[in-house]
Amino acid sequence: MVTHDSTSTSPAPQMRPEEMRGLADRLRARADSVLMRDQPHQQADLRQAASLIVQLANLTAEVLTSAAVIDRLARLLQLAGGT
C-alpha cells in the first residue's frame, strides 16, 4: 500500500546532542550580549530556551546510549543462542 504525505515540507534532519548543545550555547551567548540588555524579557526567553535545549540534548544522549546498550545485549543473546 502506498502512503502519501500530505505535507509539502521535507522532514528536517535530526540534530545530534552535540549540535543541540552548540545551539543552546549560541542562544545563551545571544541572551548575554550587549544588544539584549534593553530587552530583559527576550533575554529571559533565550536563556530558558537554551536550558530546555540542553535538557533535551541530555535526554537524547541518554536514549541513544540506552539504545546502543540494548542493541549490544540483543546481539549477545543471539550469539548465545537466545531469541
Q: What is the pLDDT along the chain (83 residues), one digit of tens a residue?
A: 455 556 667 776 789 999 999 999 999 999 999 999 999 999 999 999 999 999 999 999 999 899 888 888 888 888 888 65
Residue 8 lies in a domain: no
Q: What is the pLDDT of residue 83?
A: 57
Tell me if residue 9 falls in helix, strand or coil.
Answer: coil
pLDDT at 6: 61
Q: Say if 71 falls within a structural domain.
A: yes
- Domain span at residue 22 reads 17-79
- 7 occurs within a structural domain: no
Whole-number pLDDT of residue 2: 53
Supply the pLDDT for residue 74: 85
60's CB contacts (< 8 A; 6+ apart) are 16, 17, 20
Torsion of the alpha carbons at 46, 51, 56 and 62, rounded to the nearest 10: 160
The tally of domains found in the chain comes to 1
